[in-house]
C-alpha cells in the first residue's frame, strides 16, 4: 500500500550492476516513476548483459548513462553532474563485486565513480544486495557489507527464497514494491525515532461452534497503515492483528490472534514494555459464554438456540489503568454508526485516555480511504478524507507531537 506521489519532487539515480536481478529494476523504475520520482538510470557494462538500456530508457523517460566518457554532458563530467542532481543514489541490484568496489573506493567505471564523487552529506547511498546465497554468506561479503554500513550507506535487504541458480536462501534482491516502500520510508521524517509503539488492528472472532462465530467488518487496513507509518517514522513497532489477510509492513513485528481474549492476553504483557499504544482493532464487546464442541445444527423444530453471552475484557481501559511507570501513552479508536463526536468523547472519558480517534465504521470498513476525527479534552480536530496511509502518517505526526515530553 502506498499513496500517490509519495516521492513527488525526488530525483533518484538508479544504478544497475551485473546480475539476473536486473529484471526487477524495470518494475522498480516503473514504481518509482508512478510514485512521483524522476529516475536517472546508470548501468554498468555487466548490467547491459541482463537488461537493455533501451528498456530502462523507455521506463524512465531519460537516456541511460553508461560511460564516464559520455560526450552528451557539456563538461564531460557525468560522474559529477549525476550525483549533484540526485536526492539519493539507489544501487539495485548491487552485486558482490560492486559492493566490493564501493568499499575499496574503486572508480574505474561510471557507477562506482559517481558513488565516490557524490556529496556524502546531502546525497545518501542506498544499496540492495543481489547474489547467490553462498556469495552473500561469504566472510568477505559480510566484511564488505559491514564496512559499507560503517561508511554511511543504507543496506536494503537482501531477501530470502528461490534463486536463479536453483538454490534457496538469503541473497535475493528485494522486490520492486518493497524497494519502493523502503525508499519512501527513508525520506519520511523520523518523528518517533527511538520510541516503541504497540498497535492492534482488525476484527476479533468469537467462536460459537467450530465453524461459526461473531465478528465484524473491520479489514485491519487502518491499523496496518498506522503500523507502517510508525515504522517509517523510526519507531520500533509491534502489531497485534486479528484475523485479516494483509501483508505485514516491513520492519514490523506481528502477532496474530483470533479472539478478544487472545488479543487481551497478547497486549497486556507487551503494553508495559512500549511507550505508545494505539488501539485500532475493532474488538468484540461480548462472546458466547460456552462455545459448542460440534457444529450446532437445525433440527427442523424451528427453535432457535439461545446463546448465553459474557463480556470480553476491555483492552484499552486495562492498558490505561496500568501503573504510571508502566503505562504507555494511549490512543483509542471509536468506530461508530452515529453521533460520532459524542460517542468518541464518552469513550475518551470512560477509558481515561488522552486521545480518541473516531470514524464512521460502516463507511470505512474494508475501504482504502477514511475520515478521522481526533477527540481530546480540548476539542475536536478533523483529518479530511484521504488514503488510510496518508491519514496514518498524519495521526503519527499528531501522536509524536502530543506525546513528546514537555520541555521548559
Residue position matching grid coordinates 563485486: 97
C-alpha cell at 373: 476525527
Q: Are 371 and 385 a contacting pair, CB within 8 Å?
A: yes
Q: Cβ–Cβ contacts within 10 Å for residue 275, how many?
A: 16
Residue position matching grid coordinates 536486473: 22
SS3 of 222, please? helix
Residue position matching grid coordinates 509491534: 238
CB proximity list for 171: less than 8 A, separation 6 or greater = 129, 130, 131, 132, 133, 135, 136, 158, 160, 163
Helices (H), 43-161: 53-60, 78-85, 96-104, 110-117, 133-137, 139-150
Is 165 noted as a catalytic residue in this protein? yes
Sheet holding 379-387, edge to edge: 252-256, 236-241, 196-201, 276-279, 329-336, 355-360, 369-376, 379-387
| Distance from C-alpha of 310 to C-alpha of 215, rounded to nearest angstrom | 15
DSSP 306: P
Q: What sign does the dihedral 266-269-271-274 (CA atoms) show?
A: negative
Given 22, 115, 123, 165, the catalytic residue? 165
Query: Which conformational region is residue 264 in: left (phi greater than 0), alpha (psi within -120 to 50 degrees), or beta?
Result: alpha
Q: Which residues are annotated as catalytic? A: 165
Amino acid at each position: 500500500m502506498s499513496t500517490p506521489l509519495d516521492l513527488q519532487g525526488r530525483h533518484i539515480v538508479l544504478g544497475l550492476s551485473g546480475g539476473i536481478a536486473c529484471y526487477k529494476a524495470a518494475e522498480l523504475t516503473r514504481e518509482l516513476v508512478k510514485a512521483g520520482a524522476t529516475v536517472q538510470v546508470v548501468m554498468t557494462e555487466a548490467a547491459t548483459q541482463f537488461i537493455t538500456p533501451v528498456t530502462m530508457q523507455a521506463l524512465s523517460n531519460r537516456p541511460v548513462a553508461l560511460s564516464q566518457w559520455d560526450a552528451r554532458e557539456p563538461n564531460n563530467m557525468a560522474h559529477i553532474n549525476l550525483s549533484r542532481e540526485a536526492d539519493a543514489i539507489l544501487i539495485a541490484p548491487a552485486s558482490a563485486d560492486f559492493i566490493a568496489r564501493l568499499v575499496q573506493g574503486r572508480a574505474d567505471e561510471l557507477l562506482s565513480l559517481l558513488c565516490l564523487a557524490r556529496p556524502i552529506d546531502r546525497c545518501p547511498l542506498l544499496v540492495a544486495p543481489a547474489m547467490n546465497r553462498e556469495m552473500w554468506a561469504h566472510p568477505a561479503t559480510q566484511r564488505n557489507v559491514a564496512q559499507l554500513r560503517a561508511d554511511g550507506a543504507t543496506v536494503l535487504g537482501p531477501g530470502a527464497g528461490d534463486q536463479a541458480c536453483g538454490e534457496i536462501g538469503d541473497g535475493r534482491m528485494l522486490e520492486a514494491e518493497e524497494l519502493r516502500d523502503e525508499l519512501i520510508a527513508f525520506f519520511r521524517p523520523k518523528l518517533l525515532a527511538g520510541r516503541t509503539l504497540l498497535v492492534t488492528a482488525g476484527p476479533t472472532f468469537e467462536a460459537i461452534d467450530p465453524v461459526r462465530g461473531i465478528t465484524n467488518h473491520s479489514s485491519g487496513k487502518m491499523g496496518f497503515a498506522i503500523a507502517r507509518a510508525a515504522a517509517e517514522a523510526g519507531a520500533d513497532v509491534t502489531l497485534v492483528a486479528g484475523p485479516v489477510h494483509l501483508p505485514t509492513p516491513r520492519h514490523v513485528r506481528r502477532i496474530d490472534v483470533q479472539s478478544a481474549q487472545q488479543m487481551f492476553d497478547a497486549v497486556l504483557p507487551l503494553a508495559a514494555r512500549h511507550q505508545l499504544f494505539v488501539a485500532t482493532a475493532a474488538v468484540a464487546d461480548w462472546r458466547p459464554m460456552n462455545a459448542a464442541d460440534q457444529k450446532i445444527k437445525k433440527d427442523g423444530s424451528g427453535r432457535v438456540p439461545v446463546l448465553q453471552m459474557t463480556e470480553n475484557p476491555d483492552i484499552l481501559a486495562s492498558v490505561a489503568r496500568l501503573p504510571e511507570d508502566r503505562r504507555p501513552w494511549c490512543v483509542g479508536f471509536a468506530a461508530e454508526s452515529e453521533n460520532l463526536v459524542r460517542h468518541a468523547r464518552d469513550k475518551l472519558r470512560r477509558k481515561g485516555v488522552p486521545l480518541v480517534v473516531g470514524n464512521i465504521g460502516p463507511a470505512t470498513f474494508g475501504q482504502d480511504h477514511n475520515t478521522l476525527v481526533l477527540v481530546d479534552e480540548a476539542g475536536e480536530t478533523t483529518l479530511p478524507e484521504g488514503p488510510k496511509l496518508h491519514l496514518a502518517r498524519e495521526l503519527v505526526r499528531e501522536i509524536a507531537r502530543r506525546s513528546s515530553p514537555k520541555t521548559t
